[in-house]
Amino acid sequence: MTEASPFLSGAPEVGEAPPASTVLARFRADRLAVTSAAVLAITLLACFLGPLIYHTDQVHTDLSTARLSPRAGHPLGTDDLGYDTLGRLLAGGRTSLVIGVLAGLIATAIGAVWGALAGYVGGWADTVLMRVVDTGVAIPALFLLLVAATLVTPSVAVLALLIGAVSWLVPARLMRAETVTLRERDYVRAIAAIGAGRLRVVFRHIIPNAIGTLLVNTTFQIAHAILLVSYVSFLGLGVPAPTTDWGAMLSKGLTFAYDGAWWLILPPGLAIVLVVCAVNFVGDGLRDAFAVRGRR
Are the C-beta atoms of residues 275 and 247 closer than 8 Å to each other? Answer: no
Q: Domain limits at 229?
A: 20-48+78-289
Residue 120 lies in a domain: yes
CB atoms within 10 A of CB 94: 20
* Per-residue pLDDT, 212: 86
DSSP bridge partners of 74: 71
Which helix (H) or strand (E) segment holds residue 211: the answer is helix 211-234
* Per-residue pLDDT, 159: 92
Residue 93 lies in a domain: yes
Residue 209 lies in a domain: yes
Are the C-beta atoms of residues 247 and 96 closer than 8 Å to each other? Answer: yes
Q: In whole angstroms, give the CA distance from residue 187 to residue 185.
A: 6
Residue 195 lies in a domain: yes
Residue 61 lies in a domain: no
CATH number reported for the structural domain that contains residue 104 in this entry: 1.10.3720.10
pLDDT digits (tens, 9 = 90+) for 7-62: 343 333 444 567 777 888 899 999 999 999 999 999 999 999 998 888 888 888 88
Residue 162 lies in a domain: yes
* Per-residue pLDDT, 293: 45
* Per-residue pLDDT, 72: 87
Of 222, 217, 251, 233, give the one whose Cα is nearest residue 145.
Answer: 233
Residue 142 lies in a domain: yes
Residue 136 lies in a domain: yes
* Per-residue pLDDT, 295: 36
Are the C-beta atoms of residues 169 and 252 closer than 8 Å to each other? Answer: no
* Per-residue pLDDT, 17: 60
Handedness of CA 215, 217, 222, 225 (dihedral sign): negative
H-type alpha helices, 122-210: 123-137, 141-151, 156-165, 169-182, 186-193, 198-201
User: Which of the 8 DSSP states describes residue 263?
Assistant: G
* Per-residue pLDDT, 16: 56
Q: In whole angstroms, give the CA distance from residue 162 to residue 183.
A: 32
Low-confidence ranges of the chain (pLDDT < 50): 1-15, 293-296
Q: In whole angstroms, give the CA distance from residue 199 to residue 228.
A: 33
Q: How many domains does the chain have?
A: 1
